[in-house]
Amino acid sequence: MTLCAADTARTIACRDGDAAATLKLISMFVIFFTSVVGISAPVMLARLFHGKPLYDKAILVIKCFAAGVILSTSLVHVLPDAFDALADCHVSSHHPWKDFPFSGLITLIGVLTALLVDLTATSHVDGYSHGHGHGNGNKEVAGYTQIGGSEELKKSVVEIEVVEAEEERRRLKEDEMVKMKQKMVSQVLEIGIIFHSVIIGVTMGMSQNKCTIKPLVAALAFHQIFEGMGLGGCIAQAGFGFGTTAYMCSMFAVTTPMGIVLGMILFSVTGYDDSSPNALILEGLLGSLSSGILIYMGLVDLIALDFFHNKLMSSETWLKKTSFAALVLGSTSMSILALWA
């Protein structure tokens, strides 16, 4: 109870609605600009160097940096904030929040939800590829064997051509499945990041604490750059069309500023305090769910997929080392920001 009283006194001393509103307006423009820079940089570079000799390898390294950013975001930023929100003295002193670790439970639900979406989407992709991948090989063999007769040489040439055609079809089908998988990963990843961005924006928008908002402006600017680079790298590798790419980049760029506006509206209409138990519970539950989704996507669909199932990386030892270094660099860069945000 003494700790609660000290926290309350510190909060009252820092409450300044006018100063907080000014800082929030500045933060909306800063965060929007840095979000655009962060997410558009890898997308523009990918389009600029598309078709160049090192294009695929560069995209892979960028994606590994992205995986480090996403994993660090979930484990160092989102999950601790969710635990802190539900461990706040105004929440943890009441039932049922003091009786069970709900942050861990909701994170688990987020992981299982991401797995369910992944399984469903993968089944859809497999069904699509099987439905479009059969029907040509047997017809070609039948057509050629009628010509064959006793001409053994011609028959051998025809059989080789048929085998090569089948290999080419199989390779194209695998490439198509990989592309569809990458697109699905990018879309689910953006959903998890948008959850996180909305929570940040609404929380800042409702806050009247200038001591909390001031350091967040600069920290969130770097946060959005790194997170944008992470998502942008995945979007670039997925190979979306221009319209879809522009839409996904725009959604990422405007989500946090829109969340700030929404938080300001909620506070002005309802006077809802961001430090109230209900606000903390909502922040903790949504943060835990978002963290679970990002942990699954980072480990399974980004790191494991590239380091264990990517033919390009398995054939190039130096590329594997470079990709691991990029992964560590992304994780470290995002983790350092936890000192301020």
Does residue 4 sit within a domain? no
Q: Domain range for residue 300?
A: 15-126+161-339
User: In Å, how far are 6, 25, 65, 317, 340 from 12, measured between CA atoms?
Assistant: 10, 22, 41, 57, 21
Rounded-to-integer distance, Cα 67 and Cα 297, Å: 9
Does residue 133 sit within a domain? no
Does residue 135 sit within a domain? no
Does residue 136 sit within a domain? no
Of the candidates 261, 211, 284, the one whose C-alpha atom is nearest the C-alpha of residue 31 is 261
**Which two three-digit tokens encode residue 216?**
């967040």
User: How many of the other CB atoms lie within 10 Å of CB of 227?
Assistant: 28
Predicted pLDDT at 127 = 61
Rounded-to-integer distance, Cα 53 and Cα 260, Å: 43
Block residue for tokens 């009247």: 208
Predicted pLDDT at 11 = 56
Rounded-to-integer distance, Cα 179 and Cα 119, Å: 16
Residues 240-243: contacts with CB within 8 Å, 24+ apart?
240/183, 240/186
**Which two three-digit tokens encode residue 301?**
């669909």
Does residue 148 sit within a domain? no
Rounded-to-integer distance, Cα 207 and Cα 279, Å: 11
Rounded-to-integer distance, Cα 247 and Cα 120, Å: 24
Give the three-class secondary structure for 15: strand
Of the candidates 242, 236, 226, 217, the one whose C-alpha atom is nearest the C-alpha of residue 193 is 226
Does residue 140 sit within a domain? no
Block residue for tokens 């484990």: 75
Predicted pLDDT at 200 = 78
Q: pLDDT tens digits for the chain (341 residues)?
A: 555 555 555 556 667 677 778 888 888 999 999 999 888 888 888 777 777 777 778 878 877 887 888 888 888 888 888 888 888 877 877 778 878 888 899 999 988 988 887 787 667 656 655 555 545 544 444 444 444 445 565 556 556 666 666 666 666 566 667 677 777 778 877 887 787 788 778 877 877 777 767 777 777 787 788 788 878 878 887 778 888 888 889 998 999 899 889 888 887 777 666 667 777 887 788 788 878 888 887 888 778 878 887 777 777 788 888 999 999 998 898 888 777 76
Does residue 200 sit within a domain? yes
Rounded-to-integer distance, Cα 286 and Cα 243, Å: 29
Query: How many domains would you assign to the chain?
Result: 1
Predicted pLDDT at 327 = 92
**Which two three-digit tokens encode residue 268?**
């002005």
User: How many of the other CB atoms lie within 10 Å of CB of 336?
Assistant: 13
Rounded-to-integer distance, Cα 232 and Cα 277, Å: 36
Predicted pLDDT at 8 = 55
Does residue 5 sit within a domain? no
Is the pTM above the cut of 0.85?
no
Predicted pLDDT at 296 = 86
Longest dimension (CA), the chain: 98
CA dihedral sign, ordered 43, 47, 51, 55: negative
